[in-house]
Structure 1
Amino acid sequence: MPTEIWVIVGLCVLGLLLLMSSLARLYRKAGPHEALIVYGFGGTRVVKGHGAIVWPMVQVCRELSLELMSFDVAPQQDLYTKQGVAVTVEAVAQIKVKSDVESILTASEQFLTKTDQEREGLIRLVMEGHLRGIIGQLTVEEIVKQPEMVGERMRATCADDMSKMGLEVISFTIKEVRDKNEYITNMGKPDVARIKRDADVAAAEAERDTAIKRALAQRESAVARAQADQERVLAETLSQAKQAEAQRDLEVKKAQYLEVTKKQQAQADKAYDIQANVMQQQVIAESVRVQQVEKEGQVKVQEAEIARREKELIATVLKQAEIERQRIETLAEAEKQRLMAEAEGHASSIRQQGEAEAEIIFKKGEAEAKAMNVKAEAFQEYNQAAVIDKLLTGLPEVVKALASPLANVDRITVVSTGNGDAAGLNKITGDLTKMAAQVPALFETLTGMNMGDMLGKVRQIGDKAAKPPENGGTK
């Protein structure tokens, strides 16, 4: 079912397109330069400026041109004027079909089936007949001198005949008029001779007047030249005198101006120096004033900054410090109460601990005292051999301490000159020996005791030390 519908729609569209194509072929349009004459079924009608459908077989359509027709009107036979002079006239005519419907129908009746040449031939015959009649009514002089009048009479004469054919004469212009007897040529000779004569007379009179005026002009020129020379010499003399006076006055004026200028220049220089000094003082004063104003402004800025910082300090630090102080006081009071409670709680234990520590210290001191007594008794037993042993056992440490700076030396270069035992490596060991030999002197300097005296006080080897008396007795 849908397929049949689409087929029907397609056929309808195709039929519509064929109908429109047929109507387009039947529709005839008339341009602005033509008119369509449609005759047959419905009678004769004129179509101009639009279109119309021309039905085939029952109507016929033909075009009728409304364009301007231009053609020459030149009769082959001579035309005779009012004076009987045979002339040949060539003219150009501009004719067209009138634009109204009645004139178009009239023109279609006259020329619709004729060609352009046949139509122009008929019109030319009518125009030549009227031209022949008009030329016979005029003289050669009128034809030659008034061609516009001939054209006007042609348009007026032909208007009725052209209107009967549905036409109108747009213009009619005479191109050329000539004759075989040179009438037109001779017609102008009297005028030419007269004009030539008048021209020769006028030229002679002009030459005469020119000669007279030239002579008068030369005389006046000579007189004027003489007067001009006299006046020139007088003017030159007066001018030279005036120039000399002017030069003298100029020199005087220059000297006066120079003097005045120098005075004014000197005054201006002095005034400039004075003004420069004044301006310099003003500049310095203004600079000082500006610096003072700047300093005042800086002071004000600093004061404002100090005030701002004070307010900021008050707003930030002092208030916070006050809050912190109150907090610390509160915490301190709480800590005080806590410590007092703890102190009261640990007082007894601390006292007991102190008493125990004192007892320990006492016992420890008593033990150290006994140890010192034992050590003293042991020192009393020392003799020279023990002292010497102590000195000798401590001597390597002393020598090591003295030689420790040499350990920081990266490299030693020994230059030997062969000077006895104090040369080469022996010099280094000799120096170390000398440094070790200086230890007793260093000991005596530091302790203030002579080592020989101290060793003399030590018990000799083999002597027995005296035992201390018991129970506090003396020895």
Structure 2
Amino acid sequence: MVVGVVAGAAVAAVLVLIGLFKLMWRVAEPNEALVISGSKHRTEGLEEGMGFRIVTGRGTLVLPGVQAVRRLSLDLNETELRVDCVTHQGIPLKVRGVVIFKVGDDYVSIANAARRFLDQQKLMAERVHNVFAGHLRSIVGGLTVEDMIRDREKLTGQTRAACGTEMEKLGLIVDSLQIHEIEDPTGYIANLAMPHAAAVQRDARIAQAEANRLATEAEQQAAARMAEATRDSEILQAGYQAERDKAAAKARQAGPLADAAARQEVVVQETRVAELEAHRREQQLQADVRKPADARAYEKRTLAEAERDARISAAQAKARETELAAAAEATRVKTAAAAEAEATTSRGAATAQATRATGEAEAAAAQARGLAEAEAARARGLAEAEAIKARAAALAENQEAVVAQQLAENWPEIVRAGASAFGSVDHMVLLNGADGMAETFTKALAMGGTGLGLARQLLAQLNGNDNGKGDGNGQAPNGTSPHSGAAAPAAQQVAVDPDRS
């Protein structure tokens, strides 16, 4: 029980002490100063025995009932200046400005401000206005209007310097002093500015005229450059348009050119096909006409040569036999003559007989060789005549094939002669596209192929001559073949004399 009472008393005592401490503890805000009076204190920078203490930026204990605490604001204050002044020239002016001030931060300034404005802080701005108004009138009275206009900073500096001592005694400091406006009710400043304004206006008009001139020149130059640029642009556009037209024309001609190229390729392929067909026909003629005729002629020529060789061999054998017989006879005669040793007459007779036998043998051999050569020549003539007759018969039966064969052999030269018409052409423009190209190539080939019609006409004339003037053996009056003019150069005629054999 006693412990509880003691504990409660202790808690109550602590609470009482805390309450008393809160009542006694005062804290100064950053923008204020605490002025504590009621006891004798010594403050640094102040006279001894001032009777109050200044606290800034911290807390302190104050004895209630013994000491009094007052707060002095350290915030900025502002007052507007509206002062009617008269210059050294006697010209009335109205000066408008603003003063920004505050209580100084040192203890001396706070003490001076506390003794003067602690209970009258709201009247501080009025007091400052009166101080600056008086000094401003005094300073303006010693200046001219021109000085105030040209050097307003001088007016501001003199005013601050004149008020500095008094503001320090009041414990105040001036943060800023600005002269906003100087009003001139009499119009002196306006009249003072007129000559300068006229000069400025004159210079402005001159400058404006010069600027107008330069602007006009610049505009004309700009217009000239614009015209030049327009011309260049139109030239470029015309060039581009020409290129576009050219490209469009090429594009439009691309289709006809492609068709023409395709038709040209078709013509080339058809030409190759025609060449192959002509070559095939030539091979067929070789196989059907020329080779059988050559085979028959070769057969006859071979048989004639074999017969000739056989006769020549027989003649040579007979002549050899004769020679051997004559030699044997001569030997026999000589042997008989030597054996018998007959007279010189017998030997001469035997010698004469041997000589005669030798001559006869040589004559027989020469006659046999002549007969063999004649038979061979006759066989060759007959074979060639048969070959020519076979070619003539083939020409009479299928003259179109022979002419086509000759044209096929010479077709490259014919096409080259037809295409030579385009040899000197550098650039060709066809207005009707692929049809024009096809027509042009057709005419060129037609120019080279007119030989076919001429050959046919010549064959027709020759056939007419055969029907009207030829004899029953198929020979023309001049003794040549009726088809010799249209036959190939290889089909030459050989005349055979039947009496030569």
TM-score by length of 1: 0.46
After TM superposition, the score normalised by the length of structure 2 is: 0.44
Q: Relative contact order (alpha carbons < 8 A, sep ≥ 6): 1 or 2 greater?
A: 2
